[in-house]
Every structure is written in structure tokens, then in C-alpha cells.
Structure 1
Amino acid sequence: MAQTIRWGIVGTGMVARDVARSFSQVADAELLAVASRNQDTADAFARCFGVKMAYDSFDALLANPDVDVVYIATPHHRHRDDSLKCFAAGKAVLCEKPFTLNAREATEVIAMAREKKLFCMEAMWMRFIPLIREIKRRIDAGEIGDVQMLKADFGYPIGFDPESRFFSLEKGGGSLMDRGIYTLSLANYLLGQHETLVSHAAIGKTGVDEQSACLLGYEKGAIADLASTLTTYGTNEAVVMGNRGQIRIHDPFYRPSRISLQKFPAAEPVEVPAIGESAGMKQKLKDNALVQKLYRLVSPVLEKLGGAKTISQPFAGDGYQFEIEEVTQCLQRGDTESAVMPLDDTLAIMETMDAMRQQWGLRYPQEQ
């Protein structure tokens, strides 16, 4: 019989609630304890999600010898200190993204986890969604050939509130830390580590990046075109384009239940058209508005006839159960890292975000 892994949660906000709700779908994982700064809040959370123990301090939760692993769902600027406290208490850690405010803090956390030989993982739950794993398998198997380009954006508008964590520089707010990190992690997972980086951001009145974009260049010529925003709706899709096919990850790309796969024939040399009436007629057809409208109407049908197929893999809930399952199984095996979301990837992504912020001239107060 498999060992039951007993969990504690610190933080009772929206993401903590979503994760707590997902425990019912994971075998061998028990949500045993929750900690909040307020006892009434902790008690209400415990009643809502069937948690046995509720504490009014993080230290009290860490003193519980029955807790094996702590899910850290506190604001971004607390992740480093909360993770280090867990390791000092002998607890494994699943830390909400972003892992820390910067690469320097991430290096400290990773060093202590490895020194103590305790499990540690960033809660980049997107990587554990079944279709994301399937996309990785298909790309690695060469189904779309050599990847040439990846495009992804993540955006939903949030009404401006200077008191909100989204717009707080001290709390590590901004579109990059909240949304852009998903696009960066997807690119890292599917394409590996980039070689070049160019980025731009729109800095708002509170000093955070309200939207940002970057271009990443890779050794073999691939490019990742990534964007995030707090001010408007994005497509919230991603497309991975190879020289023999492409995979479209439909909205929302970070927890997809549907993708489209299209295979391409081998590319052929372009023939230069002859000068004359036939060439002119071709150009007239291209420029004709009615022809263009008809093309847009029939292109989805042509795409299907050309070999595009939809792959669906629905799942219950929001999808957090898959990262809980990963951590639970890693702990049962005695692993100290996840092969799907290793700490080296987390550090590389933090370094990329540091480099982007450096290009914008954006620093958090803790870095002054």
C-alpha cells in the first residue's frame, strides 16, 4: 500500500482555495493543515475544504510533525523566506510561482533544499496538464519537424487598484511575474534554454510592468515570441511551428483540453512567375476582396482536408491535481526534484525575468 503524503498549506487566497479543492482528485495525498495570520480565516478555510487542523501562524503549522510537505501560497515577495523556514523545519516544499522575486533569492532557496536533501518544486502546474505533456512528447518525437517558432500570449484585463498585489512593486506585481512566467516556462519546457533575449515593457504608474513582450533566440535558429498583459484580453493561445507541421494550443494554453495538430508537406523551391497577362491575373485575384473573403471562409475546411486534426483531453476541475500528484509521487519515491519541473529550469526562468527587468530598468524595493 502506497504511503499517504500529508500536506499543509500556508495562505488562504484564491489560488490556495483552487489547489485545496483539487486534493479530492489525488490518491495518497491528504490536506491535513492550513495556516493563516487570522484564526477565523484558517478555521473557515478548514471547514470549507475538510482540513483537520487550522493554525493562526505559519510556525505552528511547521511544528506539526505529521506534515510532510507545505504548499506555499503566500504573495510573491514572501516565497523565499517561507521556503527557507520550511526547510529549516524539515518540510518539503511546493512553492507557488514565481518561485521567488529574482534569481539571487532562487539560488538561496535551491541551495538550502539541496543541502537539506528536501524535495522542492515551483508550482508551475501548466507543465503537468496531460496535453502539455503530450505536446512535449510529440515535439521530441519529431512529429512537426524542427521547431522554427513558438508564439504565446497571456492576458486578461484587471481594473487598476494601487492596493492590489497585481500593481504592487513591493509584492512583485506586474504582468511578467503573474502571466508572462507561463509563456516563458512553456518556451523553456518545449525549446530549452535560449541564447538571446530582447524585451520591452509598458511600465504603469505604480512602477510595475502592466504589459510586456520578448523575443527569445535559440541555438538552431528557433524564435519564441511571447507577450503578457494586465490591460487587455490576449488570445491566450500558443502555437508551436515546425518545418513539417504545427501544434496550436487552444485557449487557455496554460491548462488546455484541446489542441490542433497539422502536418505540412516538404517545402519546395518557389517558382518565379512569368511576366505577362497570367501573372497579372494571379495578382488581381490575390487583391480581390471577394476572393479573400471566400478564402477565409473555406480555409478552415482546407486546413482539415490538409491533415489538421483536433486532439481533446478534458479533465475534471482546474488542473491543479496533476502537480499535486507529481509531488506526492516524487515524495513516495524519495525524489528531491521533479524531472518535469526541475530546479535548474526554475532558476533559468528566474534569470530570464531578471534580464528582462534589467532591460526595462525595473527593480523591486528589496533589490535596492
Structure 2
Amino acid sequence: MTHLFENYARWDVEIVSGSGANVKDTTGKDYLDFTSGIGVCNLGHCHPQVVEATANQLEKIWHTSNLFKSSLQEEVAEKLTSHSMGEYVFFCNSGAEANEAAIKLARKFTEKSKIITFLQSFHGRTFATMAATGQDKVKQGFGSMLETFVHLPYNDVDALKNEIGHETAAIMLEIVQGEGGVHVAEEDFLATVEQLCKDYGVLLIIDEVQTGIGRTGKPFAYQHFNLSPDIITSAKGLGNGFPTGAMIGKKYLKDAFNPGSHGSTFGGNPLAMSAAKATLDLIFEEEFLNEVTKKGEYFVSKLEEIFSQLEHFKTIRHKGLMVGVEFSEEVGSMISLLRENGLLALVAGPNVIRFLPPLTVTYGEMDAALGIISGTLLDSKKVTC
């Protein structure tokens, strides 16, 4: 018997320990974890530097409140702003909270309420972020949504030109739609989005919850496209598994978040900030990020060789170590077989296998994962899509 709500479709596996890309379940079985907690443990499980930083902080103080100054918050904020377009940071506990903050800030600053987002997007499960999300499945059963969000086809310039206007507060998008199928934005589309925002006085919000903190080979994915958004949001990889989120904004937005306008009891707490500082110290190094790009190119090239032999394979989309393999049929049986054989992977919609290995993954671990994929899906002949 369980006393938990059944809102998660849980696998029949309990992970009890991990190091880097390797984890172990309650039976002692080992797995290569190419989910990273859904893009969270970018430095792998129990990274020594992050463990040491949080353990040291545990012996000092866990919580005070945001009534007090925080030098740790200041240090992490400086790291985030020096590696992004922003000047100010608000700390919270998750990606949904970061996106809530971005939505509130955009509406308060512009004094407008209409926000354009895109089909297949995912921005969270609170009422505002659920309404912002361009997938009906997350909204079923919850009644009327907030009416101020408009969802347009992704990468469709004409649809955007027809919808945007001076009554629009913001455009909100992901550079790579992770939950929606690992769809990468087109460069011309993003350039048009930014120009239209300038033309109409609209804020550009980029949701970097999954793509940020090195996942694509840059500190933030928008930096691949020479964009300068007004607001970006971050979470998942920020604390390497310790819950934390951040909204980063440009200087001219500062006065819209005046004292009392927004808050978070646990946001920016000392434990979260110690984990985030240790994480960013490692990931924001140029050499580290260059390696992410190289690893992504290597892994995808080898995946192409394997998956191209399967009948229903369509394409691979990726940016850095954010990889989606699309098929013309559902992939649930593949995910299950890979897990049985010791490799953890994800779906991104019914037809896409998503790989999010730790950014610290070694070439040996990638080769081992590729061996499991090949042995499971080709050699065994046990699966068709």
C-alpha cells in the first residue's frame, strides 16, 4: 500500500545511490543514468565539490529568511549575471516558480497581460505556467485556464507576425523544447522574434530551465544565437540536484520588483546557494563547456549509426548533450528494454527517446551506453517501435 498520490507514472525501480553517471537500485543492480534526474544533475550524482560545499554549509546554518542579507546569494547572482545578459536575479525553488516570477515581472513592468507562447512548449504546472504551456495534456481536468496566453506554432514567423501587437506584454519560448520533443528553434525564427519584440515594445522571456547551466554547450542556450532576451529563467541544473531556481532580468526591470511585490520563503536559502555556487564554479569554465559540445557531437554521430538501422527511425535533434531521437511509432517499449539492460533514458512525447547524460559523462560511459542501445535494439531483435 502507498500513501502517495498517484500523479506520477513511476517505474518499478528505486535508486538508492549514485556517483557521476552511475546509479544503483535497491536490488544492487547498476545503471548508466542518461536522464540526470531529467536534466538536473549536470555534474552527475554526488559530485565531490558540490557535496563538500553543501556539507560545510549544513554545519553553519540552513535557513534564515530573505529578511536578511545573503552574501551567498550575491555570489551566485554575480556568477549568473556575468555569464548572461542580465543584471539582477530573483531566487526561488524550481523552474515553475522561476517562470511564474518571469510572467509576473513582465505583466507588472509592461502593465499588459497578453503573453505569446508556443505549441509543444512546457513551462510548468502552476496555474500560470500550465496556462503558458502549449500542451493540452497538462491542462486536462483543471477547468478554465488563464485567458491571457496565446499559443502559436513553433518556428512559424507568419503566425507570430499576425498575432503580436502593442497590447502584447511578452513572448515566452524555449530555445530547445525539451518536454515537447527536443525541437530546436530555427535561427531565422529567433532573429524575427527578437526584432518583433523591439518593434512592438514586447519583452522576450527565454525559458532556460532545462537548456541552461551548460546543457547545450553554452552557459545558456540563447547564447548560440546571439540573442539578448529581457528575462531568462533557470532551475534544474542550477543546484545539481538541490532544489533551486532563478529568474535573471535586465537592469531596467529592477524597479518593477520592488519590496513586497514578489517573494519565496525558501528561495535562495544557504544550502541551495552553496550547491549552486559549487556547480557554477565548474560548469561555467570555457574548457568544460567546449567538452560538452564535443561529447554531444560524438554521442549523436554514434547514435545515428545505430538508430538508422531501425525501421521506424526518423531523425535525431540535439544541442550539446540534450538529445532527442524521433520515431514514427511510440518508443515506450524501447525505454523499458533499455532500462532492463542497464541504461536509463526518457521519453519526450510518445515518439521521442530523450537522452540527458551528465555533462561530466566520459567517452567510456558513452561507449558503454551505445553498446547497451545496440545490443538491446539491434542485436536482440526483441523490439519494434
Q: Same fold (TM over 0.5)?
A: no
Instruction: Choose 1 or 2 for highest CA Rg.
Output: 1
Q: State TM-score, norm by structure 2.
A: 0.29
Q: State TM-score, norm by structure 1.
A: 0.30
